[in-house]
């Protein structure tokens, strides 16, 4: 059964208002599949009945669950691999030459269940130039449920099988029953915080590296421009921004330039715009 047009309209307007994510027509199946478990938990026979009650009563907690269900992104360890190779072979060594205090700050935005920030930290440990360095990691997401999962550092066998080499698993995880738990040495380096990218950022220190991957594709042009402008304001002038393979700043925010990083590429603030963030 497919969600009705009225129910789909209510959900897409709710998600747009709360997260700026655009659910275009054609995403009815996605909405149906993401909400069916919430509907059943609430005792409804189908998603339409669940949404009808929600639109009438507008329970804040349930509204939040709906938004989180529709904004949780797919993730895996070392996703797409090239960005992490670029970190290890190009970006981290470059930063090591210019950071006299032997400290690097990284922000993993839209971190989902935590695989990305932990993958970044593992990559830092595999970078010889950062031996003995401190890497401070801020990991944020809209979903409190995802943040709680990430903070726990607990992953099923199926989850660790997705992109995690066996040698890396042995080095950085401990057995926890039928699951695996990230080592305290890594988890202690991460600060998890709830953050909605479409709203003003809280006070932040400058970041040397920002991962904003596979996020901008869900927003309209004005929201993309606003987010990229605010990211510039929390970046070190010579910082590095990672976007998803299908994302770019060209035609969105020309204050950024795309530069090579090993076999991959990253985005950096153009020289003429760096004085605005220094």
**How long, in residues, is the chain?**
278
Interval 23-42: pLDDT, tens: 888 888 888 888 888 888 88
Q: What does residue 6 show for φ and ψ, rounded to 5 degrees? A: -65, -45
> What are the beta bridge partners of residue 21?
219
Question: Nearest Cα to 39, choosing from 26, 56, 53?
Answer: 53
276 has a pLDDT exceeding 70: no
Joined together, the tokens standing for residue 81 give 């691999």
Q: Among the options 34, 149, 232, 268, which is catalytic? A: 34
Q: Catalytic: 16? A: no
* Segment 41-97, tens digit of pLDDT: 889 988 999 999 988 888 888 888 888 888 766 688 999 899 999 999 999 999 999
Mean pLDDT, all residues of the chain = 91
Domain topology for 5-71? Chemotaxis Receptor Methyltransferase Cher; domain 1 (1.10.155)
Can you give the pLDDT at residue 65? 85
For the entire predicted model, the pTM comes to 0.83
Confidence of residue 21 (pLDDT cuts 50, 70, 90): confident
Give the span between the Cα atoms of 241 and 165, in whole angstroms: 26
Spatial separation of the C-alpha atoms in residues 43 and 110, rounded to whole Å: 31
Question: Average pLDDT of 152-177?
Answer: 94
CA 155 to mean position of chain CA atoms: 17
**pLDDT tens-digit profile of 104-142?**
999 999 999 999 999 999 999 999 999 999 999 999 998
Structure tokens of 63? 């509204």
**Which residues in 230-241 are b (16+ Cβ under 10 Å) and which e?**
bbbebbbebbbb
The residues, any chain, with a CB within 8 Å of residue 182's CB and separated by 6 or more, are: 114, 118, 153, 154, 155, 172, 173
Backbone phi, then psi, for 14, in 5-degree steps? -65, -50
**CATH number, domain 82-276, options 3.40.50.150, 3.40.50.12780, 3.90.1150.10, 2.40.50.140:** 3.40.50.150
Residue 179, CA distances (Å) to 73, 173, 229 in order: 22, 10, 40
Question: Could you tell me if 267 and 232 are in contact, meaning their C-beta atoms sit under 8 angstroms apart?
Answer: no
Q: How far is CA 205 from CA 92, 257, 278, in A?
A: 19, 22, 12
Catalytic residue (choose from 12, 79, 105, 141): 141
| Pairwise CA distance, residues 42 & 208, whole Å | 44
Considering only 165-169, 200-204, 217-221, 264-268, which range has the smallest mean pLDDT? 217-221
Is residue 143 over pLDDT 90? no
Residue limits of CATH 3.40.50.150 in the chain: 82-276
Q: Which contiguous run of DSSP H or E holds residue 84?
A: helix 82-86
User: Which residues make up the CATH 1.10.155.10 domain(s) of the chain?
Assistant: 5-71
Please work out, in degrees rounded to the nearest 5, the angle formed at the alpha carbon of residue 106 by the alpha carbons of 100 and 110: 170
212 touches 240 (CB < 8 A)? no
Q: Is 141 a catalytic residue?
A: yes
Mean of pLDDT values over 209-220: 91
pLDDT of residue 201: 95
Phi, psi torsion values for 243, nearest 5 degrees: -115, 170
């Amino acid at each position: 059964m497919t969600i009705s047009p009225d129910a789909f309209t209510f959900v897409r307007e709710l998600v747009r208002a709360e997260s700026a994510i655009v659910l275009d027509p054609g995403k009815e199946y996605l909405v149906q599949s993401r909400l069916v478990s919430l509907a059943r938990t609430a005792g409804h026979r189908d998603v339409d009945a669940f949404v009808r009650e929600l639109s009438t009563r507008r329970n804040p907690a349930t509204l939040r669950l709906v938004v989180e269900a529709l904004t949780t992104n797919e993730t895996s360890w070392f996703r797409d691999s090239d960005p992490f190779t670029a970190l290890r072979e190009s970006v981290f060594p470059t930063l090591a030459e210019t950071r006299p205090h032997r400290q690097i700050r990284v922000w993993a935005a839209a971190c989902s269940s935590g695989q990305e920030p932990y993958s970044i930290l593992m990559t830092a440990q595999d970078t010889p130039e950062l031996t003995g360095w401190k890497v401070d990691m801020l990991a944020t997401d809209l979903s409190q449920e995802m943040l709680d999962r990430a903070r726990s550092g607990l992953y099923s066998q199926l989850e660790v099988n997705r992109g995690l080499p066996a040698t890396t698993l042995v080095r950085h995880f401990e057995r926890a029953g039928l699951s695996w738990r990230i080592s305290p040495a890594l988890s202690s380096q991460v600060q998890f915080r709830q953050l909605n990218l479409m709203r003003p950022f809280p006070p932040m220190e400058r970041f040397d590296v920002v991962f904003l991957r596979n996020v901008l594709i869900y927003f309209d042009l004005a929201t993309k421009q606003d987010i990229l402008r605010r990211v510039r304001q929390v970046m070190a002038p010579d910082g590095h921004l990672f976007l998803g393979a299908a994302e770019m700043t060209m035609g969105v925010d020309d204050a950024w330039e795309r530069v090579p990083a090993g076999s991959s590429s990253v985005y950096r603030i153009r020289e003429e715009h760096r004085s605005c963030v220094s």
